[in-house]
Chain A
């Protein structure tokens, strides 16, 4: 075995073979193993203290970048910031705009690794047009809970050879396998962007009317309604982002502004720099800033407002909230409660469809409450069988997603 660095966090192997040996050994003992990159999202998910841990922080480096082929591979512990800078230098980006959870969870910004980004299936405001990490992960290598080194997918844009396990590892929070290397589709950065801000509309009207107005031919790539004060802006406002070649953005801005005029309200335009700053803030849920418990809800775009309305009628102590994804993503900050209002929130969401995830609450609460949306019995059983197929001894991130495994 090559030298494996030990840190305060636990083992930090630099080679996949060493990682596999660590996992195999833990599996043989049946000892739970927590898995992380830099730990920037350690506060996400159920809280379960684990004695032993392994980090991919020593597995770093971009192993392939071919801009003309729109593909990049990196070892799982590579800092996301390093990858973003590399892409930026060639006019490219990860089009799904991975959210930085750091500040929301009380940590530093820019600490995420590429593996962690995949493990939580990160995305941003452009999700409605460009997808999430799941839509861009072309292939990966990992060590499963059995301690086996497994690869799936490839490095090409189009591939249906074998099951699409890339989808499974995106959002699995390390419970199926420890990622060792990921291959992603990268895309050109838009030449420029502008954002139209509409103020003076009621929340419901803004969501309904703008949803209809915002489609093609304007190609709005992000659409949020921020009832609370966004940095530097008077609230409540609707924000619609236009991206592309300058000539196209200008034409669409004029077209969209004309369509928006019908709804009343004041329309202003943010230039590229202000637009970028706004959408970075929205991506990272900055409009929620403040004390309290935080939830993230994904539902159909028409149901977002109805959900918040139902919550208000149920008397939930909302401190702040906003909508992204054309109304389909709802972020909430509430006054703390022992159950983090899980019952109220999930009861309000049940008739509307979708899922609610508790993003921020105290450790004791995240140990008690279902952080991830509970599933119907048949689906929960199937989910568990999928977990078993990768990690039969339930050693990887035991309890992180479900108390049962």
Chain B
């Protein structure tokens, strides 16, 4: 099943020379990448299945330059694709052949650290982990920690509403930012929020977060920083099967305990991790659950004992409690390496990202196994167990004819299954191009029309990152006029791409 992007507009391609000349008036030559070979480096993000050569890549260094680029793009009716560190797993920053790729990598400065107000003001190209490093000495950190945190940028985190292993307790990006500076299509600049809480009017800060680069270009982010908990300890629990592990996770939450992190891996993943970088996971376990408890010494000791008892009652076959910071980090090392490790057991993998109500895990697992067999592929599973976010890793071999298509088809079937049990297509990776054509599984045409109307409020000509998130493109005027009759929109025969 080939992914169809909107056909490049001949009218834009024809004016590439003019565009380059006008960009040269905004940016120094070194910040414009027009050469084909150099542009190739940008042809995809971490969703590598699909690629496109951008019309031109620009790497501005100032907000004024971003404004000028956005004004020029609007004036020339050229598309723009914003890009942070290029680590999107859903193709959120996949370039368009008729679009400017606007890279924010040179916006890499931490502008202000304000400990008293518990926040930091940073440029969007700053690495996620760099924020925590910058405030570490003072005992602070930035809570959301996606697996890609050594590479991904905070601007990209805002675009995708990135999560991580600690978000059940500490929230996603959206719960950990206070303010944004955004350049709209056309070059207008707006600020949402600041160092204070809540919005004065509509919560556009919240709307921007997770909008996948379709509404505006983020040029500054004010993040909340938290004081690091005094103590953190990990438990490594082994279970005979995933179902017992899932039961234990449910029992911990039912007991009123919200751990700082709670992750689960199935046996194929455990084996892959142990082969990649041994970290003491029990190879014979059907599943392991890593539980991290943080807080004060007294609280953590109390909770560790409580969780250990619950695990025993749920039939844990092994139970290790970290006795040192090094051991705690070792428990996590395997989890953080799970994706690269899985490459050891299959040449390529496709990472899915559905979220399901946790109680439905056993039937979803059985269903996934059945689907994998149907498609003749294997699946390894990593779960953010506390919040029901699944990362099935579909193993395939890109060099084998038909394997890519089978992997994609299996991925789609797995996500359909997630939606069918009351879950969603994506918990933290974004829709991008990857899950775009599945949006109809979760939303009606009317639901999607409302979302597209919101986009029109920001980008009336549909020039910002088009072809992502929404399976069909509608002109804003048409959306405005559209009336829904009997639950169906007119123009059912509109071309889908």
Contacts and interface: CB of A to CB of B under 8 A. Distances in A.
Interface of A: 66-71, 91, 121, 123, 127-128, 131-132, 134-135, 144, 146, 148-152, 154-168, 170-172, 176, 187-189, 191, 211-212, 215-219, 244-245, 247-248, 250-252, 255, 298-303, 325, 328-329, 353-355, 357, 372-373, 375-376, 378-379, 382-383, 385-390, 392, 401
5 contacts: A149-B446, A159-B424, A165-B451, A170-B206, A171-B203
B168 to A, nearest CB: 6
B203 A148 contact: no
Interface stretch (B31-39, B341-349, B382-390): B382-390
B245 to A, nearest CB: 15
A127 to B, nearest CB: 6
Contacts of A389: 450, 453-454, 456-457
A188 B256 contact: yes
Interface string B192-211: 10111111111111110111
Contacts of A298: 196-198
A132 B302 contact: no
A368 B210 CA distance: 37
Interface in B150-181: 160-161, 163, 167-168, 171-172, 174-175
B68 interface: no
Interface stretch (B12-20, B279-287, B321-329, B355-363): B355-363
Contacts of B449: 148
Contact of A299 (B188, B196, B356, B458): B196
A369 B384 CA distance: 49
B179 to A, nearest CB: 9
A299 B189 CA distance: 22
A121 B387 CA distance: 23
Contacts of A157: 167-168, 355, 386-389
Given A170-B203, A383-B202, A401-B201, A159 B355 contact: yes
Given A164-B206, A248-B296, A216 B454 contact: no
B431 A162 contact: yes
Given A191-B256, A355-B200, A382-B458, 11 more contacts: A150-B447, A156-B424, A161-B425, A161-B435, A162-B439, A164-B207, A167-B206, A170-B206, A217-B230, A303-B195, A389-B456
A382 to B, nearest CB: 6
Contacts of A132: 197-198
Contact of B457 (A165, A299, A357, A382): A382
Interface stretch (B73-81, B221-229, B236-244, B265-273): B221-229
B454 A328 contact: no
Query: Nearest 9 CB-CB pairs, A to B?
Result: A167-B206, A248-B299, A216-B227, A355-B200, A217-B230, A188-B256, A385-B457, A300-B195, A157-B387
A382 B190 contact: yes
Interface string B409-449: 00000000000001111111111000100010011101111
Contacts of B206: 134, 164, 166-168, 170
Contact of A388 (B175, B194, B198, B457): B457
B139 interface: yes
B258 interface: yes
Contacts of B256: 91, 188-189, 191
B298 interface: yes
Among B201, B211, B387, B451, chain A packs the most CB atoms within 10 A around the CB of: B201
A216 B447 contact: no
A300 B296 contact: no
A136 B358 CA distance: 18
B257 interface: yes
A125 to B, nearest CB: 12
Given A251-B296, A300-B195, A389-B454, A161 B424 contact: yes
A376 B190 CA distance: 8
B116 interface: yes
B357 A135 contact: no
Interface of B: 114, 116-119, 139, 160-161, 163, 167-168, 171-172, 174-175, 184, 188-192, 194-207, 209-211, 226-231, 250, 253-254, 256-258, 295-299, 302-303, 355-359, 384, 386-389, 422-431, 435, 439, 442-444, 446-451, 453-458, 469, 480, 483-484
B230 to A, nearest CB: 3
Contact of B357 (A128, A156, A165, A382): A156
A165 B207 contact: yes
B446 A372 contact: no
Nearest to A218: B296
A68 B250 contact: yes
A159 B230 CA distance: 30
A141 to B, nearest CB: 10
Contacts of B424: 154, 156, 159, 161
A251 B297 contact: yes
B253 to A, nearest CB: 6
Contacts of B386: 157
Contacts of B192: 379
A220 to B, nearest CB: 10
Nearest to A216: B227
A70 B253 contact: yes
Contacts of A144: 450
A230 to B, nearest CB: 22
Given A156-B356, A385-B457, A161 B442 contact: yes
B426 A160 contact: yes
Given A188-B256, A216-B139, A251-B299, A372 B200 contact: yes
A390 to B, nearest CB: 7
Contact of A248 (B199, B250, B298): B298
A328 B355 contact: no
